[in-house]
Amino acid sequence: MSGLLPLLYAFFVEKLPYVTVVVFSIGMALKLHRWLSAPREPTTPKLNIISSLKYIFLDVVLFRKTFERDKATWLVLFLFHGCIAGILFGHMRGFYLWSASLFYPLGHWFTDFMVHTLPIYVGWVFIITQILLLARRHRLEGNQLTSITTDYVTLVLLLATSIVGQGMRIFPPEAIPAEVYDIVFIPGFIMLHLEAVPSYHWFHIHVLMTQLLVMYAPFSKLIHTISGVISPAIYGSWRKQYDI
Amino acid sequence: MTSDRDKMGKAALSKITRYQIMELDTCSHCALCTETCPAYDISRNPLHAPGVRSAKAVKLYDKKFSLLARVLGEKKITDQDVVDLSESAYHCSLCGRCRETCPFGFQTHQLWVKVREIVNELGGNPENVIRLGKLIGENMNPYGLEPDTRLDWADYTDLEDPPKKDKADIAYFVGCTTAYKGANHEVAFSVSSILNYLGEDWTLLGEDEWCCGNPSLISGDEHTAKVFAEHNVEALESRGVKKVITSCAGCFRVIKFEYPILLGRKPSFEVVHVVEYLRDKLSEGALQARLTDASVIYHDPCELSRLGGVIEAPREALAKLASNVLEFDERGLDVRCCGGGGLLQAVDNGMRLAIVKKRLDEAKEKGADVLVSACPACKLAFVDGVREYKTGIEVLDILELAARQLGLL
């Protein structure tokens, strides 16, 4: 492979991560500044850690309220978020945070299933649930909801990232330089080990998309991954205070 | 050039609190709250959906405070922005059900009140709400009736010697909707009769009782609400009152939860809704009532249950008043609003009556003879609904039922 592409791919892996970390950090700082510069609440319920954790678990992890109202939407939401958790966990293996040996006590077949087979199914479910959520948003748009730009940008960016990521798995591997097996994004900080050689182009586009997603997170609805636990915590403390 | 409206709008938007802006940023506009919103359920107007209100509010906020606004300059607040936000904010009964549906549990009641404050600052309050504000300012009640007629309900109901003491342990805070609306006069009579029956050292405030401030607060006029709170607390504390009893869910919520915020201190008295007092007296055996054979269904007032946390007390009291107590499917924290709150009557009475119809229809389906609640605004909505739709169901406040079963009414 010659021309501009190798340079571009090298940029995605070697330089862009620095930009990503800087943009993400600045974005988070700006978001925190936006929140913290607003006036404090005149009163907040007295924090009750157990009740707060209870409602974080029930409402954020299990989507209790959605389950009680709308089982179909709950199923899609639960699978969608479950897939994200699974995919993030799977990626951690590439970043040396765990290894396949975790599953060895459960046998060879199970280890192979967890490490190689299941991620492909999870990838498909993730893509399907995103399409369903986009379709739902489109169906309700203008009737029950008014999306703001970031609602769609976030979903589309996430969908594109996951499609490319899945493509990386299903398209046949290509001959790629040996150094790609161990990718150093930021020396001593972010390093990725690839066990199986992915499709070279899909891999690099996935790297680009993922970084765009990370950079966009503080400015988008993805911020709810952080702020989304605070409201249920307040809600939980409020319920305890009212003895409900 | 920055217009006055932009300046005032920016000042009003800057009052959005830390958690509130975080909530607006977190809201994914998933529309799960829309499905259970009683206002949207009737109108099907997207502007009335809570999630759309959230989107409109954050868009307005970002016109003044987003990163782009800081770098490239603020955007103007348009007439349409104000019209849309006002339409959205006031087609809401402030029942807080969206909080119970929101996957994140946003404190939506406070959020929508804040949005109304912004609408008010931008001069976007509906005409009737502005008129209501003037009436409150002139007469200390939202009904435009003379303050010295506040105790007329006692004459109409033949209550003998309504107490107006300088010192008393208990004060009965009647509330404007009970004192001035004929449909609720017997509620005041019932509470008074029960207090007399138990020989309590109690008093009314008479003319000294001003509106609790709830209508001002929920029309974005915190200043007036604070003035009224200061007056009422002074009137109660100067009488050495230890316990304030109210039969109005709105007064209860505001005096108990909003007064400490408005005044920056906790008043020296305890605040209870009369249904809690009734439950205690029935449980202690101080009151012994006959059980009615009628099928009674209980409607939770939003401000008492979801927003006030009083859910079991009325049920425990009812168990000692009626042998056949029915329940709505949507109750307690998840109660479907009757449409009587949030100044909806002043803004869109048609919507209020359409909302109440759903509740009346369900009560009839369940086979209820009597529909009982614990809030004068709910009772008024149900009475208006029964008259409008000719629903053959009796509407009572739980205190009226109690007084009747005690032989006091």
Q: Do domains B4-125 and B289-405 have the same CATH topology?
A: no
Nearest residue to B33 via CA among B102, B110, B94? B102
Residues in chain B: 409
Domain regions of chain A by residue span: 49-241
Q: How confident is the model at residue B408 (pLDDT cuts 50, 70, 90)?
A: very high
Question: How many other C-beta atoms can be found within 10 angstroms of the C-beta atom of residue A208?
Answer: 19
Tokens coding B328: 């709505």
Q: How confident is the model at residue A42 (pLDDT cuts 50, 70, 90)?
A: confident
Name the architecture of domain B289-405.
3-Layer(aba) Sandwich (3.40)
Rounded Cα distance between B105 and B37, Å, is: 15
Amino acid identity for residue B361 in this structure = D
For the stretch B202-215, pLDDT in tens is 999 999 999 999 99
B99 touches chain A (CB under 8 A): yes
Kindly state the average pLDDT of the residues A58-72: 94
For the stretch A45-60, pLDDT in tens is 889 999 999 999 999 9
Rounded Cα distance between A15 and A18, Å, is: 6
Residues 6+ apart with CB under 8 A from B158: none
Which helix H or strand E contains B315, and what residues bound it? helix B312-318
Interface test with B, best of A51, A61, A65, A81 (most B CBs within 10 A): A65
Res A4: pLDDT? 87
B301 touches chain A (CB under 8 A): no
Res B228: pLDDT? 98
Is residue B278 predicted with pLDDT exceeding 90? yes
Nearest residue to B194 via CA among B255, B277, B122? B277
Is residue B235 predicted with pLDDT exceeding 70? yes
Res A44: pLDDT? 81
Interface of A with B in 11-50 (CB under 8 A): 30-31, 34-36, 38-44
Q: Which residues of B touch A243 (CB under 8 A)?
A: 309
Rounded Cα distance between B28 and A126, Å, is: 18
**What's the DSSP call for residue B367?**
T
* Interchain contact, A43 vs B260, CB within 8 Å: yes
* CATH number for the domain whose boundaries are A49-241: 1.20.950
Token pair 């009970």 is at which residue? B178
Kindly state the average pLDDT of the residues B149-163: 94
Residues A141-176 as b or e (16 or more Cβ within 10 Å = b): beebbbbbebbeebbebbbbbbbbbbbbbeeeeeeb
Is residue B75 predicted with pLDDT exceeding 70? yes
A179 touches chain B (CB under 8 A): no
Res A181: pLDDT? 66
Judge contact between B91 and B34, C-beta under 8 A: no
Kindly state the average pLDDT of the residues B128-149: 96
Res A131: pLDDT? 97
Token pair 């369903």 is at which residue? A132
Q: How confident is the model at residue B237 (pLDDT cuts 50, 70, 90)?
A: very high
Res A43: pLDDT? 81
DSSP SS3 for B346 = helix
How far, in whole angstroms, is CA B23 from its chain's centroid?
23
Find the radius of gyration of the CA atoms of chain A: 21
Judge contact between B340 and B309, C-beta under 8 A: no
Q: Which residue of B28, B40, B67 is in closest CB contact with A151? A: B28
A178 touches chain B (CB under 8 A): no
Rounded Cα distance between A12 and A205, Å, is: 8
Res A191: pLDDT? 82
Kindly state the average pLDDT of the residues B389-400: 96
Pairing of strands B270-273, B243-246: parallel
* Interchain contact, A144 vs B51, CB within 8 Å: yes
Interface of A with B in 47-106 (CB under 8 A): 55, 59-60, 63, 65-66, 69-70, 73, 77
Is the model more confident about A169 or about B192? B192
Domain B130-278 annotated CATH 1.10.760.10: no
Q: Which residues of A touch B41 (CB under 8 A)?
A: none
Is residue A28 predicted with pLDDT exceeding 70? yes
Question: How many other C-beta atoms can be found within 10 angstroms of the C-beta atom of residue A18?
Answer: 12
Rounded Cα distance between A151 and B29, Å, is: 8
CA distance, residue A224 to nearest chain B CA (Å):
5
DSSP states of chain A as a string?
--SHHHHHHHIIIIIHHHHHHHHHHHHHHHHHHHHHTSPPPS--PPP-HHHHHHHIIIIIIS-HHHHHH-HHHHHHHHHHHHHHHHHHHHHHHHTTS--GGGGGGG-HHHHHIIIIIHHHHHHHHHHHHHHHHHHHHHHHBTTTB---HHHHHHHHHHHHHHHHHHHHHHSPP----GGGGEEEEETTTEEEE-SS---HHHHHHHHHHHHHHHHHGGGSGGGHHHHTTHHHHHHHHHHHHTT-
CA distance, residue B58 to nearest chain A CA (Å):
9
The fold adopted by the segment(s) B4-125 is Fumarate Reductase Iron-sulfur Protein; Chain B, domain 2 (1.10.1060)
Kindly state the average pLDDT of the residues B368-374: 98
* Interchain contact, A223 vs B25, CB within 8 Å: yes
Q: Which residues of B touch A151 (CB under 8 A)?
A: 28-29
Tokens coding A229: 């636990």
Judge contact between B186 and B401, C-beta under 8 A: no
Q: How many CB pairs under 8 A join A and B?
A: 131
Res A60: pLDDT? 92
Rounded Cα distance between A215 and A220, Å, is: 10
Interface of B with A in 320-339 (CB under 8 A): 333
Domain regions of chain B by residue span: 4-125, 130-278, 289-405
For the stretch A150-189, pLDDT in tens is 899 999 999 999 999 998 888 766 655 555 567 788 887 8
Pairing of strands A182-186, A190-193: antiparallel
Nearest residue to B321 via CA among B301, B356, B293? B293
How far, in whole angstroms, is CA A137 from its chain's centroid?
19
Rounded Cα distance between B286 and B288, Å, is: 7
Half-sphere exposure of A172 (CA within 13 A, CB side): 2
For the stretch B56-71, pLDDT in tens is 999 999 999 999 999 9
Kindly state the average pLDDT of the residues B304-318: 96
Kindly state the average pLDDT of the residues A28-43: 94
Is residue B154 predicted with pLDDT exceeding 90? yes
Is residue B1 predicted with pLDDT exceeding 70? no
Cα separation values, B164 from A60, A113, B93, B202, B220, Å = 52, 80, 34, 9, 33
Q: Which residues of B touch A224 (CB under 8 A)?
A: 26, 28, 104
Interface test with B, best of A28, A73, A145 (most B CBs within 10 A): A145
When mean pLDDT is compared across A193-197, B175-179, B297-301, the lowest value belongs to A193-197
* Interchain contact, A145 vs B103, CB within 8 Å: no
* Interchain contact, A55 vs B105, CB within 8 Å: yes
Mean pLDDT of chain B: 96
Kindly state the average pLDDT of the residues B247-268: 96
Interface test with A, best of B14, B19, B84, B307 (most A CBs within 10 A): B19
Question: How many other C-beta atoms can be found within 10 angstroms of the C-beta atom of residue B393?
Answer: 17
